[in-house]
């Protein structure tokens, strides 16, 4: 298998080692598998194509093509690499290295994390996002389940089924449901059709808050309306057309804008009382209600919180044996 330049391998033979999937991605399930001519294990994502027309006649959906291209073209220590692609019946199967430790699992096991551990995790996620954004790609589905830590302590971003390029510095029209609800930015919840990299930064801010809260999501609504209500209860309500306010004056122009009971913002320092003020400041900048005021991933990498003691731990200390 040529891992330096993965190609479409219709004849590749991988056998599943269990019927139970390791997890689910945006457009398919991920299974533990082994190549027939070797003993090494891999993760294989089976993406089913709903159309009854054979793949060779109509090709693969844009979303699947986009996911393959992100992993094939973008080489980074924080992007899970693509090792092969093959077609089986009406499935497009992508082969990746096998990682079994994701951040969701770490948090669900209530793994003890020092501030140095949290800084290394947070900085690595931001570096991955900054890399994607510098190459004009949005992840659009960042959540703890899509952040993996390998045995060497490398942090990798996974599942690019929702990823898309945004080509130039202009905003583009993307009107599809993206990002798991608890990590979805308010502009997406209000129906924004024009957005950029700040939706990923919001998702990161939600993940960082969840780490600080020991695995409890900061905003865990059951539906869109409840999710917005939970966000506004902490961060305050945006202004209306007649009362623009100062939090997010243009929110009223979004197609699904609705008035909520007025709430003043709650200082995050009163929610995260035990945190370093610099950590609270980073959270505040990542979770700015107004996307225009949200920090970028590249600027967040240089935030003072990462530069004061304790410093981010060495990545080798981030490995989680047994997970």
Other beta carbons within 10 Å of 121: 24
Of 141, 150, 159, 200, catalytic? 141
Question: Buried b vs exposed e over 279-305: b needs ≥16 C-beta within 10 Å?
Answer: bbbbbbbbbbbbbeebbbbeebbebeb
Residue with tokens 């990299």: 197
Q: Is position 299 annotated in a ligand binding site?
A: no
Joined together, the tokens standing for residue 166 give 């945004």
Joined together, the tokens standing for residue 121 give 């995790």
Q: Where are the alpha helices (DSSP H) in 62-144?
A: 62-73, 103-108, 115-134
141 is catalytic: yes
Residues with Cβ within 8 Å of 305's Cβ and at least 6 positions away in sequence, in order, are 119, 276, 278, 279, 281, 282
Render 252-265 in DSSP notation, one character per residue: GGSTT-------PP
Residue with tokens 């990462």: 306
Residue with tokens 């009406």: 90
List, as residue ranges, the binding site: 45
Show which residues are catalytic: 141
List, as residue ranges, the binding site for ATP: 45
């Amino acid at each position: 298998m040529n891992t330096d330049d993965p190609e479409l391998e219709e004849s590749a033979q991988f056998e599943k080692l269990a019927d139970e999937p390791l997890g689910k991605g945006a457009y398919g399930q991920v299974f533990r598998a082994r190549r027939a001519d070797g003993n090494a294990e891999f993760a294989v994502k089976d993406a089913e194509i709903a159309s009854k027309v054979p793949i060779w006649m109509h090709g693969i959906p844009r979303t699947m093509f986009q996911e393959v291209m992100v992993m094939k073209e973008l080489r980074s220590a924080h992007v899970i690499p693509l090792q092969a692609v093959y077609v089986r019946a009406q499935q497009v199967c992508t082969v990746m290295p096998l990682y079994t430790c994701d951040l969701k699992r770490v948090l669900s096991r209530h793994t003890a994390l020092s501030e140095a551990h949290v800084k290394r995790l947070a900085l690595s996620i931001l570096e991955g996002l900054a890399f994607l954004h510098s190459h004009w790609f949005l992840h659009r589905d960042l959540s703890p389940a899509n952040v993996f830590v390998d045995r060497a302590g490398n942090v990798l971003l996974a599942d690019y089924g929702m990823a898309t390029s945004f080509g130039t510095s202009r905003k583009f029209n993307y009107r599809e449901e993206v990002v798991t609800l608890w990590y979805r930015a308010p502009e997406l919840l209000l129906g924004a059709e024009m957005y950029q990299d700040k939706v990923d930064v919001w998702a990161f801010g939600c993940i960082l808050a969840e780490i600080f809260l020991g695995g409890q999501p900061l905003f865990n609504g059951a539906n869109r309306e409840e999710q917005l209500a939970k966000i506004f209860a902490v961060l305050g309500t945006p202004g209306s057309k007649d009362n623009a306010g100062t939090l997010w004056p243009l929110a009223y122009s979004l197609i699904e804008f609705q008035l909520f009971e007025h709430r003043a913002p709650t200082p995050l320092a009163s929610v995260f009382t035990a945190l370093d003020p610099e950590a609270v400041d980073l959270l505040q900048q990542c979770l700015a209600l107004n996307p225009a005021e949200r920090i970028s991933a590249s600027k967040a990498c240089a935030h003072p919180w990462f530069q004061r003691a304790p410093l981010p731990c060495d990545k080798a200390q981030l490995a989680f044996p047994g997970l």
